[in-house]
Amino acid sequence: MNKIKFSHYYGKLYQVPPITQAKLLEAIQVRLEDLHESLIAYDTDFGKYKLPVRGLYIMLIFEKKNSNIFTTIRRFTPQKYEYFSSKRGEMFEVEIEGGDKENV
16/5 Cα distance (integer angstroms): 19
Share of the chain residues as helix, strand and coil, in percent rounded to the nearest 5: 20, 35, 45
Query: In the predicted model, what is the mean pLDDT of the chain?
Result: 92
pLDDT at position 100 is 53
Better-predicted residue by pLDDT, 87 or 18: 87
Does residue 17 have a cis bond before it (omega within 30 degrees)? Answer: yes
Cβ-proximal residues to 67 (8 Å cutoff; 6+ apart), any chain: none
Reported as a single tens digit per residue, the pLDDT across 28-45 is: 999 999 999 999 999 999
Residue 103 domain-assigned? no
How many domains does the chain contain in total?
Answer: 1
What global pTM score does this model have?
0.90
Residue 104 domain-assigned? no
pLDDT at position 104 is 42
Query: Is the separation of the CB atoms in 8 and 50 below 8 Å?
Result: no
pLDDT at position 66 is 79
CA triple 39-82-24, angle to 5 deg: 50
Residue 101 domain-assigned? no
Residue 12 domain-assigned? yes
**With bands split at pLDDT 50, 70 and 90, how would you rate the model's confidence at 68?**
very high
**With bands split at pLDDT 50, 70 and 90, how would you rate the model's confidence at 67?**
confident
Residue 6 domain-assigned? yes
Residue 15 domain-assigned? yes
DSSP state letter for 80: H
Domain that holds residue 64: 2-96
